[in-house]
Amino acid sequence: MMKFDVWSWRATRLLLGGVLAAALTACGGGGGGAGTPVVGPGSGASGPSGAASAVAADLVVVLSKATMTNSGSDSITASVTSVDANRAAIGGVPVSFSVDAGAVVTPAGTATDSKTGVLTAVLTQGSSSAVRPVRLTVTSGAVSQTVTFNIVQNSSPGNPQAARLTLSLSAFSVDNSGSKEVVATATAIDANQNALSGIPVQLSVTDGPPLAAAAPSSFVIASSNLTGANGQVSGTVNIGSDHSNRTVTVTATSGALTSTAAFQVTGSQFTQASPVPSVVNAGAAGKVQYTLSDVNGNPMRGIPISVTGNGVAGQSGSTDVNGGYTFSYTAPNTPGGSLQFVATAGGVQSTVSVTIAGGSTTVPNASAPVSKTLNLSANVVSVNTATSSNQVSIYAIFRDGSNAPINNVRVLFDAAGDNGTGSIGSGGNTVLSDASGTASTTYKPGAVSSPTNGVTIRACWKASDFLPGETVANCPAGNLLSTTLTIVSNPVSISIGTDNTIGTGASGLTYVKKYAVLVVDSAGNPKADVQITPSVDLGGYGKGYWAWNDATKAWERSPGNGALGLLAATCANEDLNRNGVIDAGEDINGNQQLDPRKSDVSITLVGSTKTDANGVAVLQLEYTKDLGSWVKYKITVTAAGVLSPPAYYPLGVPVALPSQAAPANISDYLSTYAWLTVPADALTTQTPPPAFQSSPYGSASSCTDPR
């Protein structure tokens, strides 16, 4: 048997002297409330951080009108649309309704429609005819939205009436990024041009072509359904999930009065319209690859697209998750001439021409470009699986000496450094630059990730046709363009860190210490929506007590025979195999339980169990206050097969082994754990004494003694 003695560390007096200030500035720990500095007990310095139905992201609630008369026969219809994180409607989402003020709500069902994502409910006044506001609350899981309508008096000569209704917009054009909104303000005015308060006004929106015949996308959120003291009702108009170019009309209605105003949504663009090949043989198959993007180059998914061409059958469909669409055709069996294809999607059109080989029709040579650049829509792309289709767009751009675009520049594309697992959209075919001077294609990675900037995208250009045997590999140096990208897969790195605060649990009886978990990929980009699993391991416990020092005005604890407080022993976790069962030789102190108890410390995720858009998740430790400074802990986090380094605050290294059967490396094992932190103010307040003044595990100097 091996005798366990004590730790060798600095006296607590130094901790609470000049070292304390530096520790509170430099590292983690916590205080009794948010913002309170914390130190690891017994040391003035902290070590390094370590240690069956669909679900909606939001609910959009629209009322058929803003007010209900108290006639007893009037009603309002509420329409609820369940949407995902991209503001697209999703169906099959359970929804519940509730109203206050004695009103009655009658839903048409319990979940939104599987196709439209909409559920309606009818609102009536109930048994009371009192004039009053009513709140409708719609809930689905953790998502809840509240709207208000008013029950008003039946029209009578004594009620104020608006003579005119005006409507103004904060902007008459917004881009289709989805982040821009328009504020609509309706004003009710009487015959003397005075603004009227208390006038019911309903705001609504309609989408113009190409969405007029389809399900509307834009929506308005009004601050109120009654005009305020300034006679106005305002609402925020959002373009919704569909980013197509269009006209959005806002309508304000108050009784028989209406007023309309409109704004434009712009930004849809075909960032790729590449015929492959650019010269097709008579009777041969060809295709045109399209990519539809918003003003920021982000793909526009699920947008209806139609393509027509002279002499070939047209096609219709929708853009894929990358905003892409491939139009396939068979060229007429007539050499010479050309084909012209017109694509329409998202409120914009693209026209491309394809030459049919033979006859006298040829593609003219391009002028020699002065400026040549190769750009990617993104420098980082995820690996693909059997169910994904991740890709980046590639743009080779050519300009002359006056910066004018050059068309008909011939370009071949390829990729190197991906072990041949990826693919270029144009394959080995030549791509011609269009009227904007851009030759474009796509790169789709395989299932293998790459080092940072490990994949090279290359483009070889010529002003005239490539000769047989000419490839990117033997391209003249002056005609070769290149850029790099990174293919990422699962998260490759997880870090855990914290600040210098410690909180108190809701009961007031526990300490709560929070940690931030940061998950990134091989390019250092944050990985969002990653499921993480935290765990805490208790390495051991301490025995002894803290004592007040009148000279230093602090509670102190010293290893060995301290003049005041005493850390009598540091003992390893008795549950060596962590199975929660007392196995032979494990209950070292003979108290019929394993110390420390697994339930002494809990670890939970705060809020979501997945990382947010910044790759961050928050977790917390919670433990009763009397255990502070007496239990050693270590935190680890796993995510998609990646293990974090441990998070802890090392406070020294044990100088001897515990008196129990243990791994030969128990000294190193214990040194990777740290004591549970306590608030600094608890160490500097004499009365009342801290809850952790005496160890709940006893004060005997031996780990075999239960006292």
Both 62 and 127 in one domain: the answer is: yes
Asked whether the predicted pLDDT for residue 530 surpasses 90, the reply is no
What is the CB neighbour count within 10 angstroms for residue 161?
Answer: 15
Mean pLDDT of 109-131: 91
pLDDT of residue 651: 32
Cα 642 to its chain centre, rounded Å, is: 20
Answer for the pair 286, 277: CB distance below 8 angstroms, yes or no: yes
Of the candidate ranges 416-425, 573-582, 619-628, 658-667, the one whose mean pLDDT is the lowest: 658-667
Q: Is 208 a member of any domain?
A: yes
Mean pLDDT of 358-375: 87
Both 381 and 461 in one domain: the answer is: yes
Both 615 and 630 in one domain: the answer is: yes
Mean pLDDT of 272-293: 92
Answer for the pair 637, 494: CB distance below 8 angstroms, yes or no: yes
- Structure tokens that stand for 677 in this block: 């932190």
Q: Is 273 a member of any domain?
A: yes
Answer for the pair 120, 78: CB distance below 8 angstroms, yes or no: yes
pLDDT band at 522 (very low <50, low <70, confident <90, very high): confident
pLDDT band at 506 (very low <50, low <70, confident <90, very high): very high
Both 352 and 380 in one domain: the answer is: no
pLDDT of residue 4: 33
pLDDT of residue 22: 33
Mean pLDDT of 440-469: 92
pLDDT of residue 363: 86
pLDDT band at 378 (very low <50, low <70, confident <90, very high): confident
Q: Is 158 a member of any domain?
A: no
Mean pLDDT of 622-643: 84
Of the candidate ranges 49-63, 105-119, 283-297, 620-634, the one whose mean pLDDT is the lowest: 49-63
Specify which residues 326 forms β-bridges with.
289
Q: Is 147 a member of any domain?
A: yes
Asked whether the predicted pLDDT for residue 639 surpasses 50, the reply is yes
* Residue found by looking up tokens 């910066």 in the block: 403
Mean pLDDT of 531-538: 87
pLDDT of residue 20: 32
Asked whether the predicted pLDDT for residue 664 surpasses 60, the reply is no
Both 395 and 348 in one domain: the answer is: no
**What one-character DSSP code corresponds to residue 546?**
-
What is the CB neighbour count within 10 angstroms for residue 550?
Answer: 8
Both 539 and 674 in one domain: the answer is: yes
Nearest to 200 by CA among 184, 222, 221, 220: 222
Residues 7, 13, 14, 19: what is their CA dihedral angle, to the nearest 10 degrees?
110
Share of the chain above pLDDT 90, in %: 53
Asked whether the predicted pLDDT for residue 171 surpasses 90, the reply is yes
pLDDT band at 3 (very low <50, low <70, confident <90, very high): very low
pLDDT of residue 532: 85
How many domains is the chain partitioned into structurally? 5
Range of the domain at 280: 269-356
Mean pLDDT of 31-39: 39
Asked whether the predicted pLDDT for residue 619 surpasses 90, the reply is yes
Asked whether the predicted pLDDT for residue 330 surpasses 90, the reply is yes
User: What is the tens place of the pLDDT at every residue in 379-411?
Assistant: 888 899 888 889 999 999 999 999 999 999 999
pLDDT band at 31 (very low <50, low <70, confident <90, very high): very low
Both 525 and 652 in one domain: the answer is: yes
Mean pLDDT of 320-349: 92
Both 545 and 635 in one domain: the answer is: yes
pLDDT of residue 368: 92
Q: Is 457 a member of any domain?
A: yes
Both 546 and 665 in one domain: the answer is: yes
* Distances 333 to 219, 286, 311, 315, 357 between C-alpha atoms, Å: 50, 13, 10, 20, 10
pLDDT of residue 490: 66
Q: Max alpha carbon distance in the chain (Å)?
A: 105
Asked whether the predicted pLDDT for residue 607 surpasses 80, the reply is yes
Q: Is 696 a member of any domain?
A: no
- Structural domain ending residue among the three candidates 326, 356, 386: 356
User: What is the tens place of the pLDDT at every residue in 191-232?
Assistant: 888 899 889 999 999 998 887 666 678 899 998 888 998 999
pLDDT of residue 568: 87
- Structural domain ending residue among the three candidates 241, 265, 289: 265
Is pTM beyond 0.85? Reply is: no
Q: Is 688 a member of any domain?
A: no
Asked whether the predicted pLDDT for residue 563 surpasses 80, the reply is no
CATH of the domain at 396: 2.60.40.10
pLDDT band at 561 (very low <50, low <70, confident <90, very high): low
pLDDT of residue 121: 95
Asked whether the predicted pLDDT for residue 449 surpasses 60, the reply is yes
User: What is the tens place of the pLDDT at every residue in 471-482?
Assistant: 999 998 899 999
- Structural domain ending residue among the three candidates 488, 521, 555: 488
Asked whether the predicted pLDDT for residue 115 surpasses 50, the reply is yes
Mean pLDDT of 669-681: 77
pLDDT of residue 306: 96
pLDDT band at 585 (very low <50, low <70, confident <90, very high): confident
Both 291 and 180 in one domain: the answer is: no
Specify which residues 486 forms β-bridges with.
380
Both 484 and 518 in one domain: the answer is: no
Q: Is 157 a member of any domain?
A: no
* Residue found by looking up tokens 């004060």 in the block: 699
Mean pLDDT, the chain, whole residue set: 83
Both 595 and 616 in one domain: the answer is: yes
Asked whether the predicted pLDDT for residue 37 surpasses 50, the reply is no
Mean pLDDT of 632-636: 88
Q: Which residues of 387-414 are buried (b: 16+ CB within 10 A; e: fewer)?
A: eeebbbbbbbbbeeeeeebbbbbbbbbb
